[in-house]
Structure 1
Amino acid sequence: MSKSASVRIVYVVDGDASVREGMSRLMDSAGLEARPCASVPEFLDQARGMRVACVLLDVWGARQCELAVRNALLAVAKVLPVIALSSSDDPTARQLARELGAQSFFRKPVDAAALLDSIEWVMQGDGRSAPN
């Protein structure tokens, strides 16, 4: 297997720079390649054509996007597994996570071991068909 084929990318989409930095360090420590993005549009620009990846998505940032951007995000979510993150465990955040097809939902602050287990699960393909 070539080195490029073994790279597993995790997009960290969060408006909070400290969250992006912390999550990126966690991904690096687990042997994953973190690609931090400050917004959904930035993520969409970076993720074009990406297939071997996972998305950690702050649902508050997705909630604030205009409809066209949310629709583009929905299209990507059909191809890449999404793990939703939220600082609030409210029904609106969980509903948006379901609409985006998220395989997992975590409230911040996130348990690192549980998050890494979830990333491993969805990147193996098991999460794409999981019920929400």
Structure 2
Amino acid sequence: MVGWATKTAIVHIVDDDRDVRQAFARLMRASGFEPRAYDSAEEFLAEVRESPRTCILLDITMPNMTGPQVLARLNERDIRLPVIAVSARDDEETRAWTRSLGARMFLRKPVDDQALLDAINWVVDSVAAR
């Protein structure tokens, strides 16, 4: 039987910037994660389901629906996947808003690769340990 520590984690990447999305997906694949990339919040929300060893890498400033609005929709649907919020916009209001809606971490773009990988491992492992 395969234990939690050896299962690949799924990382949902929600970012309207194609280059950022592709770079995150490449990093995830190279690091042994299974990336699932979405170019819009609407596309992501249509497909996301609660599942073990899964987290969300969520851009905060997207057109049509912001990251905090996505978090609110996830909360309404009782989907409690851990979220790592990322944004070029780094101010206390944005950080407080994302925290109040349940984001586990906030990282400023451009994101350091190792910091991102550490954050993903931390949020996935913290949920698996419950």
State the TM-score, normalizing by the size of structure 1: 0.80
SS at match of 2:62: helix
Give yes or no for contact 1:81–1:127 (8 Å, CA) kept in 2: no
Residue 122 of structure 2 aligns with an amino acid whose one-letter code is W
Per the TM alignment, residue 11 of structure 1 is displaced from its structure 2 partner at its CA by 0.4
Distance in 2, matches of 1:82 and 1:69, equals: 11
Distance in 1, matches of 2:70 and 2:121, equals: 27
Query: Do the aligned partners of residues 23 and 105 (structure 1) sit closer, same or farther apart at CA in structure 2, a change above 3 Å counting?
Result: same
**Structure 2: runs of 5+ lacking an equivalent:** none
For residues 1-132 of structure 1, the aligned pairs below 5 Å read 1=1, 6-61=7-62, 64-65=65-66, 71-75=72-76, 79-125=80-126
Distance in 2, matches of 1:121 and 1:89, equals: 22
Per the TM alignment, residue 62 of structure 1 is displaced from its structure 2 partner at its CA by 8.2
Residue 18 of structure 1 aligns with an amino acid whose one-letter code is D
**Structure 1: runs of 5+ lacking an equivalent:** none
Deviating beyond 3 angstroms after TM superposition, the runs of 4 or more aligned structure 1 residues are: 62-65, 67-71, 75-78, 126-129
Distance in 2, matches of 1:77 and 1:117, equals: 26
List per-residue Cα deviations over 1:3-32 (Å, max 9, x = no partner). xx9231000000101110000000001100
Give yes or no for contact 2:50–2:81 (8 Å, CA) kept in 1: no
List per-residue Cα deviations over 1:30-87 (Å, max 9, x = no partner). 100000011122111121243331000011128835x986532234675100000001
Distance in 2, matches of 1:58 and 1:91, equals: 16
Task: Give 1 or 2: higher helix fraction.
Answer: 1
Query: Do the aligned partners of residues 87 and 47 (structure 1) sit closer, same or farther apart at CA in structure 2, a change above 3 Å counting?
Result: same
State the TM-score, normalizing by the size of structure 2: 0.81
Per the TM alignment, residue 119 of structure 1 is displaced from its structure 2 partner at its CA by 0.4
Q: Among the aligned pairs, what percent are the same residue?
A: 40
Distance in 1, matches of 2:129 and 2:106, equals: 14
